[in-house]
Structures are given as C-alpha cells and as structure tokens.
Structure 1
C-alpha cells in the first residue's frame, strides 16, 4: 500500500471519503430544493469572501492582479451558479427517448441520477475557478464533493477549507488533502468520478492511479495551443487580442496561445504590433500591479531555461528588459518575451510554455500551417484570425482541438452552453453548464413496457408464431 494511505493524513482522507460514500448510498437523490440550496450557499460563500480570496491567491503568487481574479475567477463562477440554478429543474427531469415501433406503446426514458461522491483535484493557476466550477456541476447533479487543492496555493487552500466548512456539512462538500504528498492517495480513492485539472504529465499519473479502481476520470490538461493568422486578418485587431490573452495571469493559463503562425511576409509587422500592444498594456516596470508574478521559483527557472535554450539555438528574443534583471526576479515577474526563429528542436516548441513567452513563426501556405499543427499533439485550444470564411472553415475541418475561438482568444471558455474539454493528450471528457451536469450524472436508460404490446412475447416453446414474428422484425430492421 502507498505509505501516504497509511499516514495520519491518509487515514483521515479515507475516513472522510467513506462517510460520504455511506451517505450517498443511503440518500442517493437530493431534491431540487436541496441542490438549489447548496448552490445558493456556494454563491454566498463567494460573495462574502471575495476580497479574502483575492488576497489569499495574490499571496500564493507573490502578486496576482486582483482584477484578473475578479474577471477570470469570481465573476465567472457567480455566472455559472446563476446559469445552473436557472436550468437545473429541466436538467434533472426525465428525458424522453424515441421508442422503436415494435415496442410501442411502451416508452423509453433517461433518468438523471447522481453518481455519488466526486473528487476534484484542482490546479494552482486559477485556483478558485478551476476548483469550484467542477464542484458546481457535481453539486447540481446531486453528488457529494471532496476537493484536493494544489500544494502551490496553500493560502487559498486554507481559506477555501475554512469557508466551505462554514457553509457546508463535511458530508456535503469538504476540502481535504492539503498536506504535501497526499495527491496520489486522493487519486487512489474509489470515487464515483474524479476530475483533474493540470499538466498532461501529472494527468497520466492520475489516470493510471484512478484506473486501478476503474474510476471514471475527466482530465482537463493543456498542451501547445496554436494561433493561426490568416492573410485576411486585420493585424491591428489581432495584436492586442493575442497580447492580452498571452499575458493574462502572466501566461499561466492552460488555454493561452502557445505559439503564433503568421504568413512570412507579415511576420515582422505582426511582431512589432504585438510587442507594442504588450508595452501599452503592461509597460516595462515589473512593479506594475496589473502584471502577475510567476507562481514559484522553480517555475521561473523553467521559463529561464526555455529562453536560454532558444537563444542558444539561434532564436531572437524581444523583451522589455533582460530576463536576468534583478528587478524582475525580485518580484518573480518574468518579462514578456517574443521568440522569433523558433525551431522544432528547441524546448520551447516541445513543451507547454505556461508563461509569458510567445514564439511567432512564419508559414507559406495555409496547408503548411495546418500540417504544422497536425504534426503535433492535439491541443486544448486553437485560435484563428481572419475574414476569409472559406479559409476559416478549412482550418476547422482539418484540425482537431479541445475548443476554438475565432477572431479572439480564450473566449470559448466562458460560454456557459458549450462544453469545455480537451482531446487526446490535452484531456478527456468535458464540463461547464449542462455538460458538467451530465458528466457528473448517470443518465440511466429505462424502458417501460406497455401491457398492450404482445410483440415481445418470444418465450419458448416457439412454435409456428416465431416465424411470423421474425418476419415482422426483419421488415422493421
């Protein structure tokens, strides 16, 4: 057995889980009013503690722009709760399904049922949003929820544990597993469903550990999300949208544009416009409160390594200040960096960047850009800019990605009626809105046989009637 499972923290983890499991089996289906009450309490938790969450998250980062926390985390969650509460009655209702002629007047229905206990392993980059967004779907579906925050966000984790304990019984929703080294023990619990958001590398580990219990897993991972600039694009519109999407949260966003593909003859112009947009938005002073710090020293060192490797292989770097400048390092803020001349042998083109570094590459024909994307793992997001509908539709038809925004970046994530999820190495499964409700629900198929249907009476002895029945079945097949 994993030692973490037999530690005091591991035993407490198992005890909490088993209490939830027992109650989920004894009380399997919370009413609409119970679910709405839980969502209402979660909304109150967010509104009552908004400033405290901002402060805790900023403390974990070293500095986190509070406006970004409001826009990307708090407001999105409040909107999710409102949307879910509005539509929950309809989502919970039995769903009609067509019935084949030979079984009528019987009827088919799908009955939405809670799975039981849902585990949520959350990341550090948007700790509030990416913890509670899955929890909203799980609670709406009638489940009990156990949350494992990231070790890199201890201030946030402690505050979340405190505030959830004040609003929820420990058998409804609980924050646990804050201790270092407990992540694998958490993933090893036989949840009815496990949600993990994080890197592809760790996602493989989580899936492997959960697989020992055949636990269904939704993986929200990452990868290298490309941005294609078509010849028909207006570069003055493109540049600030890419700059903002890349530098929001200092690039520590799983769906941030990871690299840009632009026609060769527009490369210099676009580079200049993106550089100018970054300068207008954030300036060159690392003390700018709008610019967020890198979460930890080892992540900062990883970004430095990517830049140094690219430079050593001949790439040109454009920065407002040197990457080793003491003023930037002292605040753990990495200068926005455009990388020109990146090649496939550079580390920056081999791994997800997850920081304020942006390679800009030239391409010849649209087919070459598409081939470049398709030669790599399928990304979590893809962005396309332009006014040529045929070119746009060609990219949509010939590439596969988790989601797409046209003529902007990131915005598909905010669509309450669209699923959020990856494909292949960028993830599996989806959530958000009704998609999240369905992910954490068992849609149980039920057939109600009518007493007026004798067609299905096929018990032996078959006798002569079976030939007639089979003949009719063939006609209906």
Structure 2
C-alpha cells in the first residue's frame, strides 16, 4: 500500500513549542477541550479506512474488522466519553477549611488544572488505541500532547502522523515517528507527564529515563494475566469465552489470558472445550483472513520457542485448530497451542506469552492456585469464572491485579467510565473516565482567608501565653 508522506520534528522541538503555547494560552476552557477531542474523533472517522489498511499491512494481514473494532471504535468510545463528560469533571471542589478560621470566613477548594504537555508512547499490538485512548483523558484534562507510535507498525504511524498534521497545529498535537533511538530520546524529555504502553522490561527503562527530569509517568504494562476457574463454573461457557478472548489479535493483547487454573477433575473437559471452540472459530489457519498473523518473524519464533521448550521439558502440548503448515508459517498465522502443566522454570511459565499459546494448569484447591499467583508479580488483568458468590468475593479479596473480569475475559478495559491501569510490575496510573481526567490534572489545593484573623487576640502569636500552650496541649488527644 502507499502511505502519505509524514514529516516529524524532534520531540524536544515539539515539547518546547507546546510548552510555550500552553503557557501563552492560559486557562483551557471546556469548549477548547471539546473541540480538540472532536477533531481527533473527526480525523479517525475520516481516515478509518486508511488506518485499518495500514494496520493490516503492518501485521501482514490483520483482519480489518478487528482493527476497526479494537483500535478505531475503541478509541472513538474513549474520546466521545471524555468529550461528553469533561464539563462535569472540571469544576472546583469545595473542601472543609481550617478550624477555627472557617468560623471567620476562611474557605478552601481543590482546583483541577492541566499539567501542560504530555508525551504518549504507544505500542504495536493496538497501535491506535494505546495512543488515542489515553489521549482522550489527556485532552479532557486540558493538556497538549505529542504521540510516539511504535516503529513495529510504521505504516500505521505514517498515516496517523499525516492525519494529525492535517487537523492540528504542531503546537497543539503532534506525532513523532522513528525507531528505538527516537523512542529513547522521547522518554528522556522533560514532559509534564509521560505515558508508556509496552513490556515491563522497557517500562523500567522508560521510568528510569523519566526520573532524570522527575517526570510523572503512567505505565501500562502487562504480565501473565491468570484465569481462575472455580468448580461451580460452567466449563462449556468457560472454554468458549477463553477461546474467543485468547483468539483476539492472536493473543497479542496486554490483557490476553496467559495461564488458566482449573480443578484437576475438570481439566480434560476444559481442554476439549478449548480445542472445539477455537476450531469452530477458525476451521483453517493458513489463508484465513480472520486470523491475525503474529506481527513479525521475531515474535513468531519467540512464541514457537516457548512452546518447544515446554514440550522438551515434558509438558503436554495440544493443538486447538488445525496443525501447523508451511503455508501458515510463511504467513505467520499460528494455531493456538495449549501447554498443560509446564515446569515452573520453563520459558512459557516465566515469560508473558503475548501470542497464540495458553498455559493450562490443574489445581487441587483454588486457594493453592491463588497462593501461587500471589507469589508472582501482579498482573494487568485477572479473570474468575464461577457461580459461587462467596468464592468470587474471596478471590477478589485475596488477589490484586490491575482490573478484573468475572465470567468473561478481556472485557473490563472496555469500561470507559472506570479506570484502566496496572499495579506493580503491570504498571501504574490510569486512564479512562474520571480517573483518567484526574491522572493528567494537577489537583491544586487553594485556601482563602476570611475577613478577620483572630490569632493575635487569642494569644496564638508570639510571645505565646500559658493559655495558648494549654490549648495546644489539649489538642493532643488519641
């Protein structure tokens, strides 16, 4: 496909220009914020076909309907929600003043102000959503922004850069394109806030770079998102929903199920169900336009090596979907592999899979599975299946993850009025909804004194008298 030529200034040049424009602008009205969000909405609507074509080409055949659903419609939902709700988020919030000065007219409030200029580094697996969904919160809070798309999806980056340049002055919103060296330079700039979506390993480097300028960060990372299947669950429904969720983007999603825990007595039924439902969606892999290819040869080989390593270590490996063929491999289309009870030190057990493979583990007691999960890093997502309300509450109380879906997978990130974000190794900070607005706003405490100051007449100023000393001592209470 042909792509529009896109030029890109350096991150430092754009940052300086946007910070100068931000300082010159002064307060950012609701109307201005809505206009900026609407222009992003409009450019997505106008260029959606070109963007989906570019995403398909970057993946070597990603289904247009998935790109439209996940990246275009998903981003539009975030942008429209922010556009429609921001006026309710913006007003000052009255807070209790300082006693006893509140009796003399002193008041207090919190004022939410934009931080300034936000840098946003996206990732290749959702090359629009990981830029534009956080951008919705950034613009709703009154900020300006510079976007850095992933170099692994260069065609999408070029189309987006051209579309943004058509609708925005670079002092308002801009796109920087380029490879890892550009991303490294981008993360070292003195942004007023920095957003990064990607792997935990790279997230650590981004946070380290941001620390040099004390830049606050929002990190959306990943991890081995677990599925806990209670014995009360309908195994047929569990198998169908996991098969559907794991197939999205061929497992190349940060909230994709990574490891499934099921009671030993239900293991075989779940495996058979996963095979059947996956094959029902994808009766053939090679040449199937509904199957998203693994994004490049390096990631294809990585997933293959994880499965091969587990098999070599004695794990049982099952195929969901037809057997691999040379044609499928040439297209980087891969059947879903089910890796059963691999050793703890195998690669697939210790690394996020991020592809069409799934670890399935059996347990004797759900509490044992939870204990093992809690011994590891906290994941971006956790999934629970079951119809036992007491057990469900126990799982929620005894685990910690970025978010949770119950009796389904990959659904909670679609909640546009609830925060999306990780915890610990899976990230920090949030976007979406009111929490996203707060993330990119500075909550500024304001105190306004009343018309009369009683401190001197009450002996509260030097030289202190005994009455004041006794009053202060009297305030020391449990």
- Report if the CA contact (8 A) 1:455-1:469 is conserved: no
Query: After the TM superposition, which residues 270-419 of structure 1 pair with which residues of structure 2 at under 5 Å, given as runs?
Result: 270-319=270-319, 320-323=321-324, 325-419=325-419
Secondary structure of 2:181's aligned partner: coil
In structure 2, C-alpha distance between the alignment counterparts of 1:85 and 1:11, rounded to whole Å: 28
Correspondences of 1:152-231 after superposition (within 5 Å):
152-231=152-231
Q: Please report how far the alpha carbon of residue 315 of structure 1 lies from its aligned counterpart in structure 2 after TM superposition.
A: 1.5
Query: d(CA) in 1 for partners of 2:253 and 2:37?
Result: 26
Secondary structure of the structure 1 residue equivalent to 2:260: strand
1:118-157 matched pairs, under 5 angstroms: 118-157=118-157
* 1:103–1:455 contact (8 Å) kept in structure 2: no
CA RMSD of superposed structures (Å): 1.8
* Equivalent position SS for 1:53: helix
Q: Distance in 1 between matches of 2:322 and 2:239?
A: 20
Match of residue 14, structure 1, among 12, 21, 40: 12
More moved, 348-357 vs 444-453: 444-453
What is the alpha-carbon distance in structure 2 between the residues aligned to residue 176 and residue 29 of structure 1? 26
Task: Provide the residue aligned with 1:426 in structure 2.
Answer: 426
* Residues 28 and 116 in structure 1, CA contact (< 8 A), matched pair in contact too: no
Report deviation, 1:473: 4.3
Determine the C-alpha separation between the residues in 2 that align with 1:56 and 1:366: 44
The 1-side partners of 2:118 and 2:27 are apart by 14
Cα drift, residue 98 of structure 1 = 2.5
Residues in 2 aligned to 1:47 and 1:437: alpha-carbon distance in whole angstroms? 24
1:455, distance to aligned residue in structure 2 (A): 4.9
Whether contact under 8 Å (2:228, 2:385) holds in the other structure is yes
- State the 1:178 CA deviation: 2.4
Q: In the alignment, which residue of structure 2 is the partner of 1:46?
A: 44
Residue 3 of structure 1 corresponds to which residue in structure 2? none
Equivalent position SS for 2:231: coil
Residues 151 and 178 in structure 1, CA contact (< 8 A), matched pair in contact too: yes
Residues 58 and 154 of structure 2 are in contact (CA less than 8 Å); yes or no, is this contact kept in structure 1? yes
Q: Is the 8 A contact 1:303 1:353 kept in 2?
A: yes
Mapped contact 2:125–2:253 kept (Cα < 8 A): yes
Instruction: Tell me the alpha carbon deviations over residues 159-202 of structure 1, each in whole angstroms, 9 at most, x when there is no partner.
Output: 01000000111000000142452111000001000000000010
Does the 8 Å CA contact 1:118/1:193 hold for their aligned counterparts? yes
Name the SS of the counterpart of 2:78 in structure 1.
helix
**Matched position secondary structure for 1:400:** coil
Deviation at 1:474, TM superposition (A): 4.7
How far apart, CA to CA, are the structure 1 residues paired with 2:39 and 2:385? 41
What is the TM-score with the length of structure 1 in the denominator? 0.94
Closer, same or farther in 2 for the Cα pair 1:469/1:23, shift >3 Å? farther
Q: How many angstroms does 1:471 deviate by?
A: 5.5
Q: Is the 8 A contact 1:151 1:180 kept in 2?
A: yes
2:210 alignment partner, SS class: helix
Q: Which runs of 5+ in 2 are unaligned?
A: 1-6
Report the secondary structure of 2:10's partner residue: helix
Mapped contact 1:200–1:426 kept (Cα < 8 A): yes
Of residues 450-459 and 129-138 in structure 1, the stretch that sits farther from structure 2 once superposed is 450-459
Contact residue 110 and residue 443 of structure 2 kept, 8 A: yes
Deviation at 1:438? Answer: 0.8
Query: For 1:362, what is the secondary structure of its paired residue?
Result: strand
* Equivalent-residue separation in structure 2 for 1:278 and 1:453 (angstroms): 73
Q: Which residue of 2 aligns with 1:5?
A: none
Call closer, same or farther: CA 1:280–1:321 in 2, change over 3 Å. Answer: closer
Matched residue of 2:254: which SS?
coil
Write out per-residue CA displacement over residues 429-452 of structure 1, whole angstroms, 9 at most, x where no aligned residue: 111111111111101011112124
3-state SS in 1 of match to 2:131: helix
Q: Note closer, same or farther for the CA distance 1:237–1:321 as it changes in structure 2 (3 Å cut).
A: closer
> Gapped runs of 5+ residues in structure 1?
1-8
Cα 1:473/1:27, change in 2 over 3 Å: farther
Secondary structure of 1:289's match?
coil
